[in-house]
Amino acid sequence: MRPMIETKNLSKRYGDFQALNQLNLSIEPGEIYCLLGANGAGKSTTIGLLLNFIEASEGEAYINGINVANEPVETKKYISYIPENLMLYPSLTGVENLGFFCRLAGKNLSNRELKGLLADAGIEDRFLNKRISTYSKGMRQKVGIALTVAKESKVLLLDEPTSGLDPKASNEFGDLLRRMAAKKVSILMATHDLFRARETADTIGIMNHGNLVDSLSASTITNADLEQLYISHMN
């Protein structure tokens, strides 16, 4: 099976600063891969390179076997991206926001279909026609998940999506990710949240100073042991 997300010796330098060093990742369809690391570890740089927001200094990044740098428009057809703070239009409702971004992606869905997607993502009926300005962060992230489903994206890239969420909202978001993975969506999530990574991921990578210093199956380690392993790599 061909990886849906792949990097080969992917590197990024800013002058003398090595933001990412020789990163090799291979993420299969339906796999959830969490990148753990402190600020500046290289997590967001990795996502930026996969989105072609920044240019690699060395190496290659691939989405569904397509070189991101060579065919950025083609690769974006497969990708949905949810940053730490998802940018939505505060004066529009949840349904209106989803409809607008769906149309940008070439998907013209009925009002009923849009409401169904938001409901499936966990937005309560009473909020569907309320302005986004009334939504919590967790609810806004769910709109992003609804858009991923609407676009039929094969890849979901997430940069600290659970930062600032309360435990209940964070757990609900993890459940949504597992439902996406069951549909063979490949998920790469950058996070500081060791517990959520352990509970959600299939594979956990630990990054430090631009290097992938460890990679392991989430099912093989306890929360306490993951914390100790993480701390040992930060020293």
Give the torsion sign (CA, 33, 34, 39, 44).
Answer: positive
Render pLDDT for 23-33 as a digit per residue (tens, 0 to 9): 999 999 999 99
Tell me the pLDDT of the chain (235 aa) as tens digits: 789 999 999 999 999 999 999 999 999 999 999 999 998 899 999 999 999 999 999 999 999 999 999 999 999 999 999 998 889 999 999 999 999 999 988 889 999 999 999 999 999 999 999 999 999 999 999 999 999 999 999 999 999 888 888 888 888 889 999 999 999 999 999 998 898 899 999 999 999 999 999 999 999 999 999 999 999 998 7
Provide CB contacts within 8 A for 166, sequence distance 6+.
Answer: 138
For residue 235 the two structure tokens come to: 């020293």
Residue with tokens 């949504």: 176
Q: 1-38+55-78+154-222 adopts what CATH topology?
A: Rossmann fold (3.40.50)
d(CA 158, CA 112): 27
Sheet holding 17-27, edge to edge: 17-27, 5-14, 58-63, 66-67
Q: What DSSP designation does 38 have?
A: -
User: What are the boundaries of each domain within the chain?
Assistant: 1-38+55-78+154-222, 88-151
Provide CB contacts within 8 A for 127, sequence distance 6+.
Answer: 94, 134, 135, 139
Radius of gyration of the chain (CA): 18
Write down the mean pLDDT value for the chain.
Answer: 93
Render pLDDT for 79-135 as a digit per residue (tens, 0 to 9): 999 998 889 999 999 999 999 999 988 889 999 999 999 999 999 999 999 999 999
**The pLDDT of residue 161:** 87
